Amino acid sequence: MQVEAGPLLKNIHYPSELRQLSPSQLEDFCQELRQFIIDIVSVNGGHFAASLGVVELTVALHYALNTPYDQIIFDVGHQAYGHKILTGRRDLFHTNRIMGGLSGFPKRSESEYDAFGVGHSSTSISAALGMAVASEYKGESDRQHVAVIGDGALTGGMAFEALNHAGIEKSNLLVILNDNCMSIDPNVGAMKEYLTNITTSKSYNRFRDDLIAVLAKISKNGPDAYGWAKKLEQSIKGTLLKNANLFESLNFRYFGPVDGHDVAKLTKTIEDLKNISGPKLLHVVTVKGKGYALAEKDQTKWHAPGLFDKITGEIKKSTSQKPQPPKYQDVFGHTLVELTQSNEKIMGITPAMPSGSSMNIMMKAMPNRAFDVGIAEQHAVTFSAGLASQGLVPFCNIYSSFMQRAYDQVIHDVALQGLNVVFCLDRAGIVGADGPTHHGAYDIAYMRCVPNLTVSAPMNEEELRNLMYTAQLPDQGPFVIRYPRGNGVMVDWQRPLAEIPIGRGRKLQDGEDLAILSFGAIGNEATKAIQLLNQEGIHPAHYDLRFAKPLDESLLHEVFQTYKNVITLEDGSLMGGVGSAVLEFMVDHQYFAQVLRLGIPDEIVEHGEQAELWKLCGYDAQSIVEASKKLTKGIKTDSLVS
Ligand SMILES: Cc1ncc(C[n+]2csc(CCOP(=O)(O)OP(=O)(O)O)c2C)c(N)n1
């Protein structure tokens, strides 16, 4: 749907045109940009509150800097809608996150203004520093490099690693800390408290605005003046801020806090900071959801609300008379609380995803046993390992793609020591509109090769519950349970819990012509395919593997002794995935069969609806039907192995 832009925005396609506006027009321009975001996101979906919060900052940055020569990196990138609209993509913004349309995150291949591809948090300072060092090396001393990072993203270890390094480089780096006290849920940790202390330090705040301008002017007058200015600044800050400033201790020059919704002041400040060389941090205070009252009030709900009526604020839910199956994440959340009632050793851990993973259910029910540790996947895993080393049973819930961050911790801290940590990998497989940065494509492959790990995937809600039950029984060792984004398939999912023997799959139905071996919830596409195939007289057997590791060898012996045509199906990368595991078994036991592996190919899968992307990758129900027909007719395809 096309939306009419306001009178100023209508004529602005690129930052060069924005810079033709007078400073006095910027406030009106910001309102138009904000309205445009509201108009489009309300009918299209996507991230919402974060972009509203940085409208003024985005405009000020593009106004004061010479983008794209000057480079801005938005951390995570979920807040970059204003930036996209201002940088040549306004007329395409209605395609945001739709298959074939704009990506929901900055992406180098999409625009020269997207200086760096993002999606996972806390990368911006490292990347901006790399660019700044490269510019210095190339003699581009006039070039600006800006990392815009939220207080949530600042809780990630990489951000601290980058600050630590940047403090000893002389490069031209500006870190803008967008402090809104929120992650997706309220931000957590001691750093958040520290930032609040600075923001509320009255004596320092009275002084700070003049300080930036004076310093910028003095710095322009050469190295002597610069040194003098620096000394003056340090003594003033030291006197007025009770504690030593953390960023200053890391050799950053700290400026702020400034009101992130005062576009005039922001523009002026950024212009001034261009004249101050070396690593600098500007602390900007914003309100997440700014300008849309409901979003300001309930910032978590409006982080990514889905479609909504922009006038009434009513969030549109698909209405159905019939009861619907729950989301897998909610089955996880409720089952975890149920399990804690009979097992006092269970603890819950989430790295900054209480709402997204439904760990918030346990956090509410038993706050002393559930932890939001910030956007800190590595820490979440090793913290869990510490708990497990003391006999507790941590359920560490991490989205599959974010778990990529903590791979060494899984191996070094958990698997090598055989600790009983239960990893619940939410959003495993194709996730949909968030796209390639968020698809949980690789976990089967990267977990399967680690000794001591059990790697499982439930086909439905009951299986998820039973795997969770099994994982917390004594001495199970490290245990992975991967499940997808979205809803399950069972309305009556709250069934009694039962143990699943480790490494035991299920035969769902016998067949004649071929066997389909599925892993996880994508097996429900196989069920649909089999119904369609039956109508055409083809009768595949269906096995639910349940475990990628250990494999159910007796089940596989049965399969290869009975069927000469086999399809493996997984919502994960083909390379190294379950299909590969089945092939390894086949070769090791010298079976011969035609095997067709369905899963994510060795390509970057872009964004789109989950079902669209399954189809694109060739493993939705219809594709399984076609693959089965090809296979049973004995026609070999490229991916056939015989
Ligand atoms: C490594 C990683 N873990 C988790 C996430 C999910 N995530 C996306 S945005 C976000 C909150 C970011 O908070 P902040 O940086 O303060 O930005 P805000 O939304 O408040 O503007 C989280 C946890 C992610 N993108 N990357």
Backbone angles phi, psi at 190, to 5 degrees: -70, -30
Q: Please give the distance, rounded to the nearest whole angstrom, from the Cα atom of residue 86 to the centre of ligand 1.
A: 23
The rounded Å distance from CA 194 to ligand 1 centre is: 19
The residue written with tokens 């010479």 in the block is: 66
- Please tell me the residue having the least CA distance from ligand 1 atom 17: 150
- Please choose, from the candidates 302, 316, 515, 331, the residue with its C-alpha nearest in 3D space to the C-alpha of residue 426: 331
At 639 the pLDDT is: 43
Structure tokens at 3: 């939306």
Per-residue pLDDT, 203: 58
Catalytic residue of the set 32, 233, 377, 463 = 377
CB–CB of 79/183 below 8 Å? no
Cα of 361 from ligand 1 centre, angstroms = 20
The Cα–Cα gap between 211 and 242 comes to: 18
Considering only CA atoms, which of 396, 382, 406 is closest in space to residue 468?
Answer: 396
> pLDDT-based confidence at 335, cuts 50/70/90?
very high
For 209-234, how does the pLDDT look when each residue is reduced to its tens digit (9 = 90+)? 666 767 777 766 665 666 666 666 66
Selection from 564, 560, 561, 484 nearest residue 519 by Cα: 484
Q: Which residues line ligand 1 (CB under 6 A)?
A: 50, 53, 75-76, 78-79, 120-121, 150-153, 178, 180, 182-184, 288, 352, 375, 377, 402, 405
pLDDT tens for each residue of 532-545: 999 999 999 999 99
**Residue 74: what pLDDT?**
98
pLDDT at 635 exceeding the cut of 60: no
Q: Which residues pair with 443 in a beta bridge?
A: none
Q: What average pLDDT does the structure give for the chain?
A: 94
Asked whether residue 521 carries a pLDDT value surpassing 70, the answer given is: yes
pLDDT tens for 406-422 read 999 999 999 999 999 99
pLDDT at 200: 76
CA distance 614 to 439: 12
Per the DSSP assignment, residues forming a β-bridge with 598 are 569
pLDDT > 70? residue 486: yes
- Supply the pLDDT for residue 231: 67
pLDDT at position 513 is 85
Tell me which of 375, 381, 425, 485 to substitute to probe ligand 1's pocket, judged by most ligand atoms within 8 Å of the beta carbon. Answer: 375
Are 147 and 175 in contact, with CB atoms under 8 Å apart?
Answer: yes
Residue with tokens 């499982």: 456
Helix, strand and coil percent figures for the chain, each rounded to 5: 45, 15, 40
Count of residues making up the chain: 642
pLDDT tens, residue by residue, 162-198: 999 999 998 999 999 999 999 999 999 999 998 988 8
